Structure 1
Amino acid sequence: MDKLQKKINYQFKDINLLKQALTHRSVGKNNNERLEFLGDSILGVVVARELYQRFSGIGEGKLSRFKSYVVRGQTLGLIAAELKLSNLLILGSGELKSGGHNRKSIQADAVEAILGAIFLEAGYKTVSEVILDLFKVYLDDINPNDTLKDFKTKLQERLQKFRQTLPQYTLVKTTGKDHNALFTVRCLLQDQKIQVEQEAKSIKRAEQMCAEILLEKL
């Protein structure tokens, strides 16, 4: 964990807090879900403020798209890979057997949980510095002239261009309750006979993840 702390440029006073941030719910009650919930909120606030300050002449709609681009699951997954979190995740036996270390959603949640843990221990200013450092490449990558359409919109426009059947999104199952709920969504491309399933903490996010994978397949 020393290498991880060097990479995020933050040294935990309470190492148990970092361990909790890396602990999946499959282990038991003392897991990272509450920290992930907190980190997700803090990440959104920090990125929103940074975008607000960087792009003073841009409206709310575009700022929202920029924010979604920066904090999306794919970005969190890339950061998790840079931090090599897969080797540090603490998982229950079931998740270990099913290859949970390699699940991007678990890694992404751990990134947010780490941010939540830093906020609890050191406050807003410190976690803001960590976030802006970790996400710098993605923030700098934003071109204010880009539309940054979401993946569902891109997929629909591509299919419409070739006059193909639009994607069908179906909620397959819901597990857990309240803020701990997980939603599994299936997306079918009828003409191509392709379908994918993705799990996320909101239906909208799961749909976006499905659309992103299908765009890559096409």
Structure 2
Amino acid sequence: MPSRSIVVVSGGLSQPSSTRLLADRLTEATVQDLTRRGIDTVVEVVELRGLAHDVVDMTLTGYARPDLAAALSALAGADGVIAVSPVYAASYAGLFKSFVDVLDPEALSGTPVLLGATGGTARHSLALEHALRPLFAYLHADVVPTSVFAATDDWADAGGEQVKPLPERVRRAAAELAQRVAAREPVAKGGLYDAVPSFEDLLGDA
């Protein structure tokens, strides 16, 4: 069975996180779709909350510590990416943007990407189109047409009252990502990023 890699970027700042919950739902649906296509999937999750200090350090120094370097390399070698951010002040979270800022500009070029976002109210859903989609278009990613926003009410069982229930949107977006991932040749894994020793390591006993 051929194999593809999916890297999931979760920008949630709390634990537990509705952002991670949405990322997990999107991942599960994508893996299921790829399995039906006869494709095995290797999933790697990048939790930005645990990389916050490393992201700031790289922003200031240009050097990636080992955990961040591993995350960046995984993204550069991914066959598909699921990226989910909470919405703050009508846009993506600051940590999410800072992580994107330290990516190599070509790291996601041509890579199929599924975008998701979470927020307290559906009024924030347009952040996907006016903030997240242009950001990944700038990176030349192949962003799938359907993006998924989950408001607080989407996690409740609203039955038929919802026009497009969250599970339906998740399945549709996941199918679009799976189709693009399956249609591409597997990405050659490489070392675009290498971990750089910290200044303390470089100074040693000096």
TM-score after normalising by structure 1: 0.32
Higher strand share: 2
Higher helix share: 1
Structure number with larger C-alpha Rg: 1
TM-score after normalising by structure 2: 0.34
